[in-house]
Structure 1
Amino acid sequence: MELTVLVVPECPHTAPLRERLTRVLRGRTDVTVTWREVTDPEEAERLGMHGSPTLLVDGADPFARPDEAPSLSCRVLGLPPPDRLRRALARPDRPWDGGPGVC
């Protein structure tokens, strides 16, 4: 499984998400995590960024709402709790379920 985390410079939610992912992924050897800083709106759109940070699981954002447009902005909803992260990583094909998204 390939995880890509898209962040804007100095995003205050980067460190908390990094800590949460570290806990959730502890012991897993089947996951690669790449952190990528995005500064250009066109790049954000091309990458499918839905606010900072955006967590892409095998290229898809499991926390994006179906009607949510890509954007170079901050996500204002709270970080998903660890159990939602675990579910998203166990079932990356399952769409957003209406709970808090990544902030």
Structure 2
Amino acid sequence: MEIELWVVPDCPNQQLAEEQLRQALDDAGLPTTGFTTRVIADETEAERSGFTGSPTILINGHDPFAEPDATPSLTCRLYRTPDGLARAPDADLLRHALEDARRS
């Protein structure tokens, strides 16, 4: 499984996303699975890669939390969670996304 965390430079939500992702990997029974972090540095790179906000988590090249009609940009991203909007997906949502990817 290939997992990437995409962020803008100095993203204030990077640490939270990393912590939630690590917890989700542990909860999904994937404690040795790692992930890479990619910094999206400018608008051109955001456009080229389809980056719609920081942090973005890709699992096997797919954004399981993609919002329809989101436009590429160097912005902070918010996620819909059971508790409302959040700066990163919670570990439970991430665990479900990881499990879905593992079954695919």
Question: Does TM-score exceed 0.5, indicating one fold?
Answer: yes
SS in 2 for 1:11: coil
Shift in Å at residue 30 of structure 1? 7.1
- Structure 1 equivalent of residue 93 of structure 2: 84
In 1: Cα distance, 2:101 partner to 2:52 partner: 17
The count of aligned residue pairs is 93
Do the aligned partners of 1:44 and 1:70 also contact (CA within 8 Å) in 2?
A: yes
More strand by share: 1
Q: Name structure 2 gaps, 5 residues minimum.
A: 80-85
Do the aligned partners of 1:62 and 1:92 also contact (CA within 8 Å) in 2?
A: no
Q: What is the letter of the counterpart of residue 11 of structure 1?
A: C
Supply the RMSD in Å over aligned alpha carbons. Answer: 2.0
Q: Name structure 1 gaps, 5 residues minimum.
A: 94-103
- Structure 2 equivalent of residue 14 of structure 1: 14
- Structure 2 equivalent of residue 52 of structure 1: 54
Q: What is the letter of the counterpart of residue 50 of structure 1?
A: T
Alignment partner for residue 62 of structure 1, among 58, 61, 64? 64
* Identical columns (%): 45
Relative to the length of structure 1, the TM-score reads 0.78
Relative to the length of structure 2, the TM-score reads 0.78
More helix by share: 2
- Structure 2 equivalent of residue 5 of structure 1: 5
